[in-house]
A and B are shown apart, each in its own frame.
Chain A
Amino acid sequence: MKNVSRIIPCYAADTSGVCSALYELGGMTVVHDASGCNSTYATHDEPRWYDRQSLIFISALTEMDAIMGNDEKLIADVVSAAHDRNPAFIAVCGSPMPMMTGVDFDAAAAEIERRSGIRTFAMHTNGTHSYINGASEALYTIAKEYVRDIPKAAGTGVNILGATPLDFGLGGTAASLRQWLHENGFSAVSCFAMGDSLDSLKKAASAKVSLVISQTGIPAAQYLFEQFGIPYVCGIPTGTEFSKIIADALKEAAQTGTPLYPCAIGNSADRGDITVIGESISACSAAAELHLQTGRKTRVICPLPFEPACMNGALESPASEEEIERELAAYIPEIIAADPLYRMICPPQAKFLELPHYAFSGRCFDKRIPDYVNPNLFRL
């Protein structure tokens, strides 16, 4: 019963991660799943659904199609829809039912591409992993499929990697980041993948450095580093103090060509006075700012997959409701910053700072999702 949650919800699933990451890029995302499930991926987990169109479809998999392994229906329907809509690309995602029947999405994608003439890729989701896995694979695939070597842009061009509403809602973080980069002498080359087009993303190799603002951007960052030598910096320029560290790190990485993980300072090796719960890079950035402001020891609990270097070398973190509850009760931090739905498993003595997270609480607190670049966000 290790992963059972009695009180808190689970994070958005991998399929939602793919849909979110690809939402603005002009492609067609098809989830091979039962009819009706589109509302999970495209409405409950997608705040842009109400005012911006995107081609997100469900294959309407039936029990008999699943039992009979009728891949042809999926392939023919996707090809037909692609002819009508002419998307820039097609992404085909799995869900629990095709996982159990062992659908070969790589082979189906190759067949769709052959028949439609449109670049098609399989997303290896199955609905049992977190949005981090799905969004990571989607952003990595876009980088791998579309970014080609081009001359560097003038000045210090920056790619923003790992921007999806699942981590930042529509709180303004992506737009504010562009402004912050401009004010600090950088320029935004691309943003994977909010507020930018596929054509802009194709130019990512002209950047001198990447800024990774969530774990979902790590595989794309590593690819751009290995393929084009573009180093990356992990962290969000949040608050008055940590933002200075990020600005310096971007300059240093661009100069030395070495990846840097400044957000790691937010996670001390042992239990802290201040604990932040959430996605690794945003939580570590918040913790780093709180640490710099107060001088207090800060610690991050990340129940999602993370890059150890972003978490100060940590190899694991409490992940289940039971583990998190037990861990917090064991040392009772003075302050806990987390999504409001965590409050119910936090010790009541701790002061609670709300950090709503769309991938965790969806629309419940969407108006209160912060702009992480707001300098006053973590002023205590």
Chain B
Amino acid sequence: MIKIAIYGKGGIGKSTCTANLSAAFASLGKKVIQIGCDPKADSTVNLLNGKPLTPVMDYMRMHDDEPEDISVISRTGYKGVLCMETGGPTPGLGCAGRGIITTFNLLKQLELFEQYQPDVVLYDVLGDVVCGGFAAPIREGYASKVLIVTSGEKMALYAANNIRNAVENFADRSYAKVRGIILNRRNVADEEAKVRAFADSAGLDIVADIPRSDDIIRCEDAGKTVIEGAPDCAAAQRFFALAQKLAAEEPSDE
């Protein structure tokens, strides 16, 4: 099973990259689960024709008891991708990180992986690894690889370095390892050189180079990924290539 957590600075395009990667894996015939780990709960919206689903934390807020079935906290999106969102507490209250842990415990209790038997699980995680809750997706049994999304902007690279350091703090534990960087271009000057310099200093690969694309914006306005809405565009082709690369690296479960 391919299990990847995707991290990066807020607003850098994590959800765009994750949803497109999910759609690309699904197009390759893989059974995919995408779990959005962000209180904004908008990770999967472009796999669902722009129609958001009920996040787990919203369900817990509305009901006294935990859900007994995955179906009430998930929806099936583009090419069968099972979409879920952790959601979070009312902004300014509670603990969003704890919400992620609670959601993961619930998914374990509901035997999500055993019941659904996915080939690919993608976790789209809010921003930085700021606390225990946001490290939950990289714990043993969840993701085994981390992809960091960054542009050539200084603050994005700063965040990428923080994420890499945070993951390295857990080197003694059986946590996920950083697989590489997705360069999501913002068309800043010397962008590739800046990101490559960071990647080289950190000993990481740039696993995908996603061009700045009006196709992505146009498709997202229509509630779609480019894999669905513009599969022949350059950005879509890069996501297909990344999915193929990651699939080829994974030893077969059979």
Binding site for B on A (CB under 8 A): 2, 69, 99-104, 106-107, 110-111, 114
Contact = CB atoms under 8 A, between A and B. Distances in A.
Contacts of A107: 139-140, 170, 173-175
Given A107-B173, A107-B174, A111-B172, 9 more contacts: A69-B131, A100-B95, A102-B98, A102-B131, A102-B133, A103-B132, A104-B139, A104-B173, A114-B172
Interface string B165-190: 00000101111000000000000000
B135 interface: yes
B227 interface: no
| Chain B contact residues: helix, strand, loop or mixed | loop
Q: Which 8 A-B pairs have the closest CB atoms?
A: A102-B132, A107-B173, A102-B101, A102-B133, A101-B132, A104-B139, A100-B98, A102-B97
Interface in B73-131: 95, 97-98, 101, 131
A101 B131 contact: yes
B136 interface: yes
A102 B95 CA distance: 11
Contact of B64 (A2, A99, A110): A2
A111 B131 contact: no
Contacts of B172: 111, 114
5 contacts: A101-B132, A102-B97, A102-B135, A107-B173, A110-B173
Contacts of A114: 172
A168 to B, nearest CB: 30
Interface string B48-69: 0000000000000000100000
B174 A69 contact: no
B173 A111 contact: yes
A219 to B, nearest CB: 14
Contacts of A104: 132, 135, 139, 173
A355 B133 CA distance: 43
Interface of B: 64, 95, 97-98, 101, 131-133, 135-136, 139-140, 170, 172-175
A101 B172 CA distance: 20
B49 to A, nearest CB: 34
**B97, B101, B136: residue with the most chain A Cβ atoms closer than 10 Å:** B101
Nearest to B139: A104
A100 B170 CA distance: 20
A102 B97 CA distance: 8
A108 to B, nearest CB: 9
A106 B170 CA distance: 13
Nearest to B170: A107
A4 B224 CA distance: 46
Nearest to A104: B139
Nearest to B98: A100
A102 B101 CA distance: 7
A103 B131 CA distance: 10
A111 B95 CA distance: 27
Contact of B140 (A2, A69, A106): A106
Contacts of A100: 95, 98
Contacts of A103: 132
Contacts of B64: 2
Contacts of A106: 139-140
A32 to B, nearest CB: 13
B174 A110 contact: yes
Nearest to B134: A102
Nearest to A114: B172
Contacts of B174: 107, 110
A66 B133 CA distance: 13
A2 B63 CA distance: 12
**B133, B172, B174: residue with the most chain A Cβ atoms closer than 10 Å:** B172
Nearest to B104: A102
Nearest to A2: B64
A183 to B, nearest CB: 43
A114 B170 CA distance: 15
Contacts of A69: 131-132
A99 B170 CA distance: 19
Nearest to A126: B105
Nearest to A101: B132
B147 to A, nearest CB: 21
B119 to A, nearest CB: 25
Contacts of B139: 104, 106-107
B227 to A, nearest CB: 33
A101 B95 CA distance: 9
A103 B139 CA distance: 11
B98 to A, nearest CB: 6
A111 B175 CA distance: 12
B57 to A, nearest CB: 15
A54 B58 CA distance: 44
**A101, A102, A106, A110: residue with the most chain B Cβ atoms closer than 10 Å:** A102
A101 B133 CA distance: 7
A110 B175 CA distance: 12
